[in-house]
A and B are shown apart, each in its own frame.
Chain A
C-alpha cells in the first residue's frame, strides 16, 4: 500500500463548480499535512497547510480526520486558473528527521 494515496482524476468541472479531493495516508505517526499545487511542467508550490481543526483560505477549505487517516481539499466557485494537479503531502518524523511524502496528485481541469 502506498504511504499517501490520491484519486489521480482527471476531474473535469465547469467554471463555478465545487470540487473535492480526497487523500488517505497509511502511517499513523504522520505529523503534518499539506496540499501543494503543481502546474503543468512547473515545480510544486504550497497551497495550504492542513490543521486538525480544519482551515479555510478564500475558496479553499482543507480538512483532516486523524482517526480515519484522511485529508480533503474543497475548492468552491472554481476558476479556470485552478486547473492544475493537487498534491497531498504528509510529514513523518523519522529517526533521522523529517520525511515529506507526496501522493501521486489529482488533476483538475476547469472548463468554460
Chain B
C-alpha cells in the first residue's frame, strides 16, 4: 500500500501524559500537512511542511504541540501534557501537486 499511513490509529491516554503520532506520506510528496478534526467539524489546519521545513503553523496551536519532519519524509506530531480538549482525530495529508491525500487518521481520547 503506497498511501499515507498514520500510527497509531487509536490512542487513549490520561490527562497530563505526552503522546506522539507518526505520519508516513506518499514517498514522492514534498508537502505534508497536519489537521485536527472533531465531530461535526471540518479538518482544522495545524501545520504544514515543505520537505523538512515547517513553513506554517496555526495560531491555534499551543506550545504543547510540536511537529517535526526531520528528513523530509515521515513526520511526527507530539502533544505534551494532554488535556481533555485535545481529544480529536489527527489527520495527516501529503501532496506533490494540487490534490491532498489523507491518511486514515489517529484518534486521540484523553481521559
Contacts and interface: CB of A to CB of B under 8 A. Distances in A.
Nearest to A91: B98
A45 B103 CA distance: 10
A102 B40 CA distance: 13
B33 A100 contact: yes
Interface of A is mostly: strand
Contact of A46 (B31, B43, B45, B100): B100
Interface residues of B, number: 21
A104 B31 contact: no
B104 A102 contact: no
Contacts of A104: 40-42
Contact of B105 (A43, A49, A97, A101): A43
Interface string B28-41: 00010101000011
Interface stretch (B17-25, B48-56, B72-80): B48-56
A73 interface: no
Contact of A49 (B31, B91, B98): B98
A102 B100 CA distance: 12
B50 A97 contact: yes
A8 interface: yes
A32 interface: yes
A32 B98 contact: yes
Given A96-B56, A100-B33, A8 B40 contact: yes
Interface of B: 31, 33, 35, 40-45, 48, 50, 55-56, 91, 98-100, 102-105
